[in-house]
Amino acid sequence: MAITAGLQVSPTREIEGSAILTVANLEVVYSRVIVAVQGVSLKVPEHSIVTVLGTNGAGKSTTVRAISGFLPVDDAEIRKGSIHFRGQSIGGLPPYQIARFGIVLVPERRKIFETLTVWDNLRIAHVRNDKPSNWNQQAERLFGVFPALAARREQLAGYLSGGERQMLAIAQGLLCDPKLLIVDELSLGLAPNLVHDLMERIQQLRHEFGISILLIEQDALSAIEIADYGYIMEGGRIVFEGSPEKLRNHKDVQEFYLGSGGDGRTSYREVKQYRRSRRWWG
């Protein structure tokens, strides 16, 4: 219905600047039967923050797993489409090779080593980052961005708070010297003001480390704050995309993802109805 009206989403559509990551027409199938992601195309331009929004089961995590090479772990495979990173096809490569290309994932769960100290958590990360001088310099810069971590250097990571864990996970990922940092559910289980604060630091890190960032989020409101471009996924497809202003101003996006609609129609039953009616789209 309205959410797609007047919008043409085509995989070949160009975003400003050269893309560091290009996903085209991706189709992922679990156990050879269940189609989890269908015809997903997205681009992450150099030095930009792109967000993929959507509810549980929308296919966000599957897309991330396809990009980072973790599909075989769950008996899933890419059936169609391609994933290119800086011009090279990386679809179907094993995770460690993808990590060496410079794609680093901060996973949704189990993102730090709880039995190691904060410092050990950091020094364990060194893919692509072999030069000690470079590594030390980056570690110091990260302590600058996350002073809370510097204060807890010698503490076991298992004792960190949720926000500090997220900081540590991001810092650990950055020490692998990525070109593209993928953060899966930054906001998960964190207080809203903390999420806001973390988002700001993500933006700061983008400039300081000169990287591109792909944010996979349920918390659309805070992700849109810092993103340059956003995609909305639903039922394994991308149903809407655009600049933050476009996302923010679109009435249906407001209603369903930002929770700030306003025609008084707030019944959850109607929401479901609405979704079912446009399932044909794709």
Partner 1 sequence: MGYAHVSLMLVILIQASFYVLLGMGYVLIYRATRVLNLAHGDLMVFGAFLFYQGLVITSGSVPLAITTGILGAALTGAIVYLGLMRPLAGYPVAVGVLATIALAIVLRSVTTAIWSGQTRYPAEYIGQLARPIELVSGLSISAIDAVIVLTALICILGLPLLLRRSAIGVEMRGVSENALLAAQRGINIHSVNALSWAAATVMAAIAGIFFSLKVRLGPDIWYVGLAGFAPALIGGMDSLRGVAIGALIVATAEVLAARFIAPQIALAAPFLVLLVALWIRPWGLFGSREELERI
Q: Does 201 bind partner 1 (CB under 8 A)?
A: no
Q: Is the Cβ of residue 113 or residue 143 nearer to partner 1 in the bound state?
A: 113
Helices 192-209 & 132-145, crossing angle to 10 degrees? 150
Give the contacts of 275 (CB within 8 A, at least 6 positions apart): 234
CB 21 within 8 A of CB 212: yes
Give the contacts of 110 (CB within 8 A, at least 6 positions apart): none
Site string for partner 1, 89-128 (x = CB under 8 A): ------xx--xx---xx-x--xxxxxxx---x--xxxxxx
Residue 261 CB, nearest approach to partner 1 (Å): 39
Residue 167 CB, nearest approach to partner 1 (Å): 16
Site string for partner 1, 41-80 (x = CB under 8 A): ---------------------------x-x--x-------
Q: Is the Cβ of residue 17 or residue 72 nearer to partner 1 in the bound state?
A: 72
Between CA 36 and CA 47, with CA 42 as vertex, the angle to 5 degrees is 135
CB 175 within 8 A of CB 126: yes
What gap in Å lies between CA 231 and CA 248, rounded to an integer?
Answer: 12
Site string for partner 1, 171-190 (x = CB under 8 A): -xx--x--------------
**Nearest to residue 91, comparing CAs of 112, 61, 121, 71?**
71
Residue 70 CB, nearest approach to partner 1 (Å): 8
Which residues would be at the binding site for partner 1 (CB under 8 A)? 68, 70, 73, 95-96, 99-100, 104-105, 107, 110-116, 120, 123-129, 172-173, 176
